[in-house]
């Protein structure tokens, strides 16, 4: 029979490893090492919040500092404009799941015949030298929108909505401006449309780089299958467009 001698320091180490304090510390170190960019625990957020509260809570997230700096530049113009009767931040920032490549999704409700001026004043806060690509469109008369990709790999979309244009706000959102209960009049309890309902190539070749940019963002998050499926649909839509001579229509 072989006898093994246990050294005193081994016994001491075993006792320390079983202590609650040691176990808690080891668990914390383990969690810190395994938490990545997309499974990082985030604080629960209410269905909507004020801009000031949002900026205070988001200040601890260094990966979104570029988007937040841009947001603060723009919201000063929005809040000071008498033409803006309501404004919200939607999307991943409002949900509390934003990351380095998340875009800013702004919706601004404007008085009649002011949407183009409001959008132009906001657009002026972003120098042309910072913009890699720009995409312009419209939801209807007096309701323009713009989507920008910047050279620092951030992006933003801004929608200026006229009173007569139908455009619902869905929770969660960050409240930027809410005059005369504008946001309450636009609120909808229906769920937001999913990515699956997006129609690839719906704006034709002019917007193709934006669609590829979105696929790059999904790939950076590990959403490989989603990106592949969209690229397959995009390729088919381009082929059909070449045959029919026009891009597919939105559903």
Contact predicate 250/202, CB 8 Å: yes
pLDDT for 186: 97
Per-residue pLDDT of the chain (251 residues), as tens digits, is 445 444 445 444 444 545 555 555 555 444 433 334 444 444 444 468 999 999 999 988 899 999 999 999 999 999 999 999 999 999 999 999 999 999 999 999 999 999 999 999 999 999 999 999 999 999 999 999 999 999 999 999 999 999 999 999 999 999 999 999 999 999 999 888 777 788 999 999 999 999 999 999 999 999 999 999 999 999 999 999 998 877 666 54
- CA 152 vs CA 66, 86, 101, 103, 162: distances in Å: 8, 29, 10, 12, 31
Alpha-carbon distance 139 to 172, whole Å? 22
> pTM of the full predicted structure?
0.80
* 159 bridge partner residues: 107, 145
Task: From 92, 104, 83, select the one nearest 161 (Cα to Cα).
Answer: 83
Separation of alpha carbons 15 and 22, rounded Å: 10
Q: What angle do CA 73, 114, 171 make, to 5 degrees?
A: 60
Given this model, what pLDDT does residue 116 score?
A: 97
Q: Which residues make beta-bridge pairs with 135?
A: 147
Say which residue the tokens 């989507």 belong to.
147
Q: How far apart are CA 162 and CA 4, in angstroms?
A: 84
Q: Round to whole Å and give the CA distance between 198 and 196.
A: 6
Are 50 and 175 contacting, i.e. CB atoms less than 8 angstroms apart?
Answer: yes
């Amino acid at each position: 029979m072989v006898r093994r001698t246990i050294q005193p320091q081994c016994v001491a180490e075993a006792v320390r490893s079983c202590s609650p304090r040691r176990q808690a510390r080891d668990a914390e170190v383990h969690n810190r090492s395994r938490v990545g960019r997309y499974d990082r625990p985030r604080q629960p957020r209410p269905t909507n919040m004020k801009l000031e509260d949002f900026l205070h809570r988001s200040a601890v997230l260094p990966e979104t500092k570029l988007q937040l700096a841009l947001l603060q530049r723009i919201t000063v113009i929005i809040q000071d404009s008498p033409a803006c009767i309501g404004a919200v931040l939607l999307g991943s920032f409002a949900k509390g799941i934003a990351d380095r490549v998340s875009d800013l999704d702004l919706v601004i409700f404007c008085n009649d015949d002011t949407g183009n001026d409001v959008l132009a004043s906001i657009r002026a806060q972003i120098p042309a030298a910072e913009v890699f690509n720009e995409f312009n469109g419209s939801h209807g008369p007096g309701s323009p929108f713009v989507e920008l990709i910047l050279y620092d790999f951030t992006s933003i979309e801004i929608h200026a909505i006229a009173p007569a244009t139908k455009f619902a706000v869905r929770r969660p959102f960050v409240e930027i401006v809410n005059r005369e209960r504008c946001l309450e009049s636009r609120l909808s309890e229906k769920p937001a449309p999913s990515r699956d309902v997006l129609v690839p190539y719906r704006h034709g070749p002019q917007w193709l780089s934006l669609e590829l940019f979105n696929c790059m963002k999904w790939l950076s998050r590990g959403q490989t299958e989603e990106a592949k499926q969209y690229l397959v649909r995009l390729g088919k839509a381009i082929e059909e467009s070449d045959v029919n001579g026009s891009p597919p229509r939105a559903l």
